[in-house]
Amino acid sequence: MRLEDRVAVITGGAGGIGLATARLFLKEGAAGIHLVDLKEEALEAAAEELADERVAWTAADVSMDADVARYTQEALDRFGRINVLFLNAGVEGVVKPMTEYPEETYDQVMGVNVKGVWLGMKHGFPALEKAGGGSVIITSSVAGLQGTPNVSAYTTSKHATIGLMRSGALEGAPLGIRVNSIHPSPVDNRMMRSLEEGFAPGAAEEAKKGFEGMIPLGRYGTNEEMADLALFLASDESRFITGAVIPIDGGLTA
């Protein structure tokens, strides 16, 4: 029961990592889980799967100020407080050289992956402060630590969240708010299927083998392994950790 009495907001809550984290947080005694994602149907399905009265949700676009204000308020209305903010919603964009990369996709990737995190802290900090402090966890990527050709917007966005995380950690410390970022290598879920197909159209399995070959532990991570790290950062076990860049990558960046 490492999260007893805690209320957590999870963005990208209907996706692979977000939903696995919601499941684990509930198991660890969370008092409330507020899922945020784009589509009502996906959120409904996620809530149905979790089948727990401690789950609520808001359909919102994390890149829009009014939507972020709304999901924050709805979580407060439903549960009375927010202790943990898992800013995890993200999009991969497309796989194309910079010279061919569509401007619209660049703006979308930066809007969700960067502005979405900034807005999450902007609206979430007052709630966490009121709760006496809390933990913000940002899902970046190994793409925030090193370059990869042909995913320039994604790579840029995941580097940028480190700046946001460090700013948040310094501004949050006097308020008792810790802010850290996690940096997964490929995780075995929808996003990697999309990227494998983007890197090697029609030969996704080959692309997967190539990526696995770059990871010293020889495999992709799982949604559940990402959830385990989010749990540690959400719980008091990590109480002296803030401002940290934490790879969870099977040794990829070693």
Binding positions for ligand NAD, rule: CB under 6 A: 11-12, 14-18, 37-38, 61-63, 88-91, 112, 139, 141, 184, 186-187, 189-192
Q: What minimum distance in Å lies between the beta carbon of 60 and ligand NAD?
A: 6
Whose Cβ is closer to ligand NAD: residue 29's or residue 147's? 147
Residue with tokens 């999450």: 120
User: In the 8-state DSSP scheme, what is residue 253?
Assistant: T
If the CB atoms of residues 56 and 91 are measured against ligand NAD, the closer one turns out to be 91
The candidate with the shortest Cα–Cα distance to 62, out of 138, 156, 155, is 138
Exposure b/e, 111-128, CB count within 10 A at least 16 = b: bbbbbbbbbbbebbbebb
Residue 8: what residue type? A
* Nearest approach, Cβ of residue 29 and ligand NAD (Å): 23
Could you say which DSSP state residue 135 is in?
E
Residue among 16 and 124 whose Cβ is closer to ligand NAD: 16
Least separation in angstroms between CB 12 and ligand NAD: 3
Q: Looking at 71, 106, 154, 220, which residue is catalytic?
A: 154
Nearest to ligand NAD of 75, 91 (CB atom):
91
Chain Cα centroid distance, residue 25: 14
- Does residue 106 have an active-site annotation? no
Query: What angle do helix axes 103-110 and 152-172 make, rounded to 10 degrees?
Result: 20
Nearest-approach distance from CB 46 to ligand NAD, in angstroms: 9
CA dihedral of 21, 124, 73, 47, whole degrees rounded to 10: -10
Least spacing, CB of residue 125 vs ligand NAD, in Å:
19
Q: Which residues of 155-167 are buried (b: 16+ CB within 10 A; e: fewer)?
A: bbbbbbbbebbbe
Nearer to ligand NAD, 134 or 184 (CB): 184
- As a whole number of angstroms, the distance between CA 188 and CA 223 comes to 7
Catalytic machinery residues = 154
